[in-house]
Amino acid sequence: MTVTPDLLRSVPLFAAMSDHSIELVAGLFQEVAYADGATLVRQGDPGEEFIVLLEGRARVEQEGHLLRELGAGDFLGEISLLDGRPRTATVVATYPVRAMIARRTDFMRLIDEHRAIRYSVLTALTERVRHAAPSPGD
């Protein structure tokens, strides 16, 4: 499995991008492998990459508590692509993992060079904020 346009469109940050923009974003990814038990990201570390799991499984923990499990097609760190802020959870491989990673510096350069991608990302973030905001009746 590779990072395909359909896989990227499953990520809210990329869902509304044009085919050309999706192809440019897909070109940012590099394949990496993690052994069973390896830490993909650690809570408190800077958020410097976005990760899409292609194979394997991983667990997401916060303060030592299991939050959820990830498998092929799942992703993490999409907001870190933009803000680089510290990770809010630790992710550990529970089986060997093959993943694709996009580095924040590469992504920031891409949105600096391509207004359409920058606009798509801003639109997606606006939608996330709009849906997360309480309704007037709350």
Average pLDDT, the chain: 86
- What pTM, to 2 d.p., does this model score? 0.79
Tell whether the model's pLDDT for residue 124 goes beyond 90: no
Tell whether the model's pLDDT for residue 138 goes beyond 70: no
**Confidence band of 116 (pLDDT split at 50, 70, 90):** confident
Domains of the chain: 5-126 (2.60.120.10)
Q: Could you report how far apart the first and last alpha carbons of the chain are, in Å?
A: 43
**Confidence band of 135 (pLDDT split at 50, 70, 90):** low
Classify the C-alpha dihedral 131-41-49-8 as positive or negative: negative
- What's the mean pLDDT in 4-24? 84
- If you compute the radius of gyration of the chain from its CA atoms, what whole number of angstroms results? 15
The pLDDT tens digits for 18-40 are 889 888 888 888 999 999 999 99
d(Cα 42, Cα 20) in Å, to the nearest integer? 33
Where does the chain have alpha helices with state H? 5-9, 19-26, 80-83, 104-113, 115-132
